Each structure stands twice: as structure tokens, then as C-alpha cells.
Amino acid sequence: MASEPAVHTGGCQCGAVRFRVTGPLDDASICHCRMCQKAFGAYYAPLVSTRGARLEWTRGEPKRFQSSNLVRRGFCGDCGTPLTYEAPDGVALAAGAFDDPAGLAPWIQYGIEGRLPYVQGLSALPARRTEEDEAAADFLSRIVSYQHPDHDTGHWPPRTGA
Ligand SMILES: [Zn+2]
Ligand SMILES: [Zn+2]
């Protein structure tokens, strides 16, 4: 008996762009190359290949920047969340944009000639939970998130005053 294909959803921080991937996602990686650092504004890019699966944009669509003659980078035009790496051989999605990225563990690092010198020591840094920062307690008690939740929504932003 065939089982249902796996379905993964995700989207940008503001919720203007949402995606759904149907099928197996077993090729997650991080890329240290300078292009990926820049495109993600980060030390490296976490990417999940959608090759062999079906990718649909279920709300909105990314804007694209042609970062080279062969590759486009997709991002939300409203909030700027990096979303895709689009090459001739397929599209990869930003791992952190998935609603449940915990199940998408990377298995390989690419572009290590660009790896920043402190990246390998990150896990050894001092570590704190958010609520341990007593100086931020007032700030944290007043903060209201406008981030889209980690699941699909019928309406977004939520209708108020209705
Ligand atoms: Zn957005
Ligand atoms: Zn790269």
C-alpha cells in the first residue's frame, strides 16, 4: 500500500509568500560561498533541494535577483526573507523558512573555501536562553510578534475588529 507523499510547508517572515513541497526532501546542505553569505546576510546559507519533489507557491511569489548568469535568488519583496536558490538543475529552498526545519538536517557543507574562520567554533560559544536576560525582561513582556505563524493560514494578517 502506497503511503501519502510527505508534505512540507513554509514561507517568509511576513506571510506574503508561502510554499508547499510534496514529495521527499532528503538533500539539505549548508553553503559557505560568498554569494550565499551575501544573499542570506548570514555566515552561510542553509538550503533544501526540492529536486524530485513538487514545489508550489501557495500565497504570493518571491521576487528574484539574478545573482549570476545561471542562478537566481528568490526573496520576499515585502519583508526580505531569503527563500530560494534557483539553478538550471533545480530549486533549493531556505531551510529556516520551513514551518518545521528541525526535520531537515543538513548532511553536507559546500563552498568551504569561503567558510568564515569562526564558524567551526560557534557551538562552543557561551549560550543563554532568552528569558535569562533579566535586563530585557520589560522589553520581552511588551513585545508582540507580527511574524506569520509556522502553519498555513486562511487570512493573513489576521482580520481585526470584524
Ligand atoms: Zn514576507
Ligand atoms: Zn553558495
User: Which residues are in the CB-under-5-Å shell of ion ligand 1?
Assistant: 12, 14, 16, 76, 78-79
Tens-digit pLDDT profile for residues 102-137? 999 999 999 999 999 999 999 999 999 998 988 889
- 7-114+135-142 architecture in CATH? Beta Complex (2.170)
What local confidence, expressed as pLDDT, does residue 5 receive?
87
pLDDT given at position 70: 97
Sheet containing 18-22: order of strands? 7-11, 18-22, 54-59
Question: CB–CB of 45/39 below 8 Å?
Answer: yes
Say how far apart CA 117 and CA 56 lie, in whole Å. Answer: 37
What average pLDDT does range 25-44 have in this prediction?
Answer: 98
How many angstroms does the Cα of residue 12 sit away from the middle of ligand 2? 20
pLDDT for the residue 159 = 75
Ligand number with the minimum distance to the CA of 45: 2
Domain segments of the chain: what residues? 7-114+135-142
pLDDT at 81 (0 to 100): 98
Confidence of residue 1 (pLDDT cuts 50, 70, 90): low
pLDDT digits (tens, 9 = 90+) for 46-70: 999 999 999 999 999 999 999 999 9
- 90 Cα–ligand 2 center, Å: 14
HSE, CB side, 13 Å, CA atoms: give it for residue 33.
10
Dist. CA 61 → ligand 2 center (Å): 22
Distance from the alpha carbon of residue 135 to the mean position of ligand 2, in angstroms = 38
